């Protein structure tokens, strides 16, 4: 069975590629700017195609040529790049998803798994569940919500098995794209290297997060869940909910030498709004057995041991 990962050499995509290869799948990575270093351990076992999601012929070609059976659609422009160039973000995130769904429909792909984001809730600071109103204000959130709804349409109209996970902030070493909540990973990474770090949001900004190993586990679980279990189709994941100040305190507990200060950036504060309320992920738990394995403590311990063994410094 050949799996396609769009954005396959990115932070989450490269870890997913490792796990799929480990379980014996054939894997094709599609990325506009392949970071070979991120997948160096498996480079002889995968196919990497340089291509642009917004170019439909490149997308159709990779799906047809490689007889793809499922697609993990992770390729995207994240919050800050999308804010800097909203027009490009529209083409990549919105048109790119249409191209993926059309390719899936035309070339008999069995499943499309899409990574959306809590940003579709636009800084909604009250408790959030799948029925909470979505009024994103960023191009990132708008294009992700559009993609979710487009996929629902493809399911209803054409029966395409489309499944979505809405991630909170994904944390780990080796993330390179700056996005609005990337301060969480970079604060840890800099503290481990003994560098000072300025947090660009306010102390009371609440933002949930999830360890990257759990983020990949969720993709594998939702992919493998039997179709009859997938009722909600678009699922929130709760992650670990902390304010920026609480997060910093936890990091300092584990890395006492950390030199972290708050220096809010007005542009990013505007993007984050009031932060995000507690997220309910009962539907993912009930329908496909979701359980997060890493809490804050075990996540930080794992990151420390990865850092000592230099695992996941990808570039
Ligand atoms: N990292 C997070 O905190 C987070 C949170 C919520 C949702 N997500 C979603 O998870 C997915 C993976 O995120 P990530 O952290 O791995 O991001 P990333 O930036 O590390 O990876 C995205 C990859 O997409 C590729 N890409 C960008 N434009 C492309 C195009 N036009 N054509 C082909 N490839 C293109 C990039 O080169 C990159 O390798 C994204 O869809 C993102 O929106 C991530």
Q: What is the CATH number of the domain that holds 222?
A: 3.40.50.720
164 and 176, same structural domain?
no
- Pocket lined around ligand 1, Cβ cut-off 6 Å: 6-7, 9-13, 31-33, 52-54, 74-78, 92, 96, 115, 117, 167, 169-170, 175, 177
265 and 128, same structural domain?
no
CATH of the domain at 194: 3.90.25.10
Q: What pLDDT score does 274 carry?
A: 81
Q: Which of 10, 120, 236 is the pocket-test mutation for ligand 1 (most atoms within 8 Å of CB)?
A: 10
Domain that holds residue 256: 171-208+240-278+293-308
Q: What pLDDT score does 311 carry?
A: 64
Is 304 inside a domain boundary?
Answer: yes
93 and 183, same structural domain?
no
Cα–Cα distance between 285 and 37 in angstroms, integer?
34
Nearest to 8 by CA among 37, 23, 28: 28
Could you tell me the two tokens for 104? 């899936």
What spacing in Å lies between the alpha carbon of 256 and ligand 1's midpoint? 32
Mean pLDDT of 209-217: 98
* 312 against 190, higher pLDDT: 190
The pLDDT of residue 191 is above 90? yes
pLDDT, the chain, mean: 95
DSSP structural state of residue 256: T
Is 283 inside a domain boundary?
Answer: no
Is 286 inside a domain boundary?
Answer: no
What spacing in Å lies between the alpha carbon of 253 and ligand 1's midpoint? 30
The pLDDT of residue 213 is above 80? yes
Q: Which of 74, 120, 146 is the pocket-test mutation for ligand 1 (most atoms within 8 Å of CB)?
A: 74
Is 314 inside a domain boundary?
Answer: no
Handedness of CA 258, 123, 303, 189 (dihedral sign): negative
Cβ contacts of 156 within 8 Å, gap of 6 or more? none
99 and 196, same structural domain?
no
191 and 53, same structural domain?
no
Buried b (16+ CB within 10 A) or exposed e, 202-231: eeebbbbbbbbbbbbbbbeebbebeeeebe
Mean pLDDT of 226-230: 98
Question: Coil, strand, or helix at residue 28?
Answer: strand
The pLDDT of residue 41 is above 70? yes
What spacing in Å lies between the alpha carbon of 197 and ligand 1's midpoint? 24
Task: Categorize the per-residue pLDDT at 315 as very low, low, confident or very high, splitting at 50, 70 and 90.
Answer: very low
Is 77 inside a domain boundary?
Answer: yes
Q: Kindly report which listed range (87-91, 160-164, 230-234, 273-277) carries the lowest average pLDDT score.
A: 273-277
| pLDDT tens track for 117-170 | 999 998 888 899 999 999 999 999 999 999 999 999 999 999 999 999 999 999
The pLDDT of residue 184 is above 70? yes
| pLDDT tens track for 60-103 | 999 999 999 999 999 999 999 999 999 999 999 999 999 999 99
176 and 80, same structural domain?
no
Cα–Cα distance between 10 and 16 in angstroms, integer?
10
Atom of ligand 1 nearest to the CA of 169: 3
Residue with CA nearest ligand 1 atom 18: 10
20 and 49, same structural domain?
yes
301 and 194, same structural domain?
yes
Share of the chain above pLDDT 70, in %: 98
Mean pLDDT of 170-190: 94
Is 84 inside a domain boundary?
Answer: yes
Q: Which of 38, 78, 114 is the pocket-test mutation for ligand 1 (most atoms within 8 Å of CB)?
A: 78
111 and 26, same structural domain?
yes
201 and 78, same structural domain?
no
Is 199 inside a domain boundary?
Answer: yes
CA angle 210/213/216 to nearest 5° reads 95
Helix axes 212-224, 11-22, angle to 10 degrees: 60
Question: Coil, strand, or helix at residue 159?
Answer: coil
59 and 10, same structural domain?
yes
Q: Would you call 293 exposed, middle or buried from its count of C-beta atoms within 10 A (0-12, 13-18, 19+)?
A: exposed
142 and 9, same structural domain?
yes
Domain count, the chain: 2
What spacing in Å lies between the alpha carbon of 257 and ligand 1's midpoint? 31
């Amino acid at each position: 069975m050949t799996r396609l990962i769009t954005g396959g050499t990115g932070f989450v995509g490269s870890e997913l590629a490792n796990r799929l290869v480990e379980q014996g799948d054939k894997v094709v990575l599609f990325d506009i700017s392949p970071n070979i270093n991120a997948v160096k351990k498996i480079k002889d076992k995968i196919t990497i195609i340089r291509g642009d999601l917004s170019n439909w012929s490149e997308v159709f070609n990779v799906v047809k040529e490689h007889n793809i059976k499922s697609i993990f659609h992770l390729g995207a422009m994240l919050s800050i790049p999308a804010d800097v160039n909203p027009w490009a973000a529209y083409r990549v995130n919105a048109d790119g998803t249409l191209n993926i769904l059309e390719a899936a429909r035309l070339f008999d792909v069995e499943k499309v798994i899409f990574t959306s984001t809590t940003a579709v809730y636009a800084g909604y600071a009250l408790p959030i569940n799948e029925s909470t109103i979505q009024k994103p204000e960023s191009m990132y959130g708008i294009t992700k919500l559009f993609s979710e709804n487009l996929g629902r349409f493809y399911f209803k109209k054409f029966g395409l098995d489309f499944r979505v996970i809405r991630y909170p902030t994904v944390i780990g070493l080796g993330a390179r794209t700056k996005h609005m909540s990337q301060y969480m990973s970079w604060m840890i990474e800099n503290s481990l290297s003994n560098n000072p770090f300025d947090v660009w949001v306010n102390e009371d900004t609440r933002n949930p997060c999830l360890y990257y190993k759990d983020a990949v586990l969720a993709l594998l679980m939702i992919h493998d869940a039997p179709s009859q279990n997938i009722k909600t189709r678009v699922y929130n994941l709760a992650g670990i909910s902390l304010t920026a100040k609480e997060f910093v305190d936890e990091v300092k507990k584990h890395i006492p030498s950390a030199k972290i200060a708050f220096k809010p950036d007005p542009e990013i504060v505007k993007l984050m709004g009031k932060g995000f309320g507690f997220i309910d992920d009962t539907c993912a738990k009930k329908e496909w057995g979701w359980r997060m394995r890493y809490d804050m403590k075990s996540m930080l311990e794992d990151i420390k041991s990865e850092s000592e063994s230099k695992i996941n410094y990808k570039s």
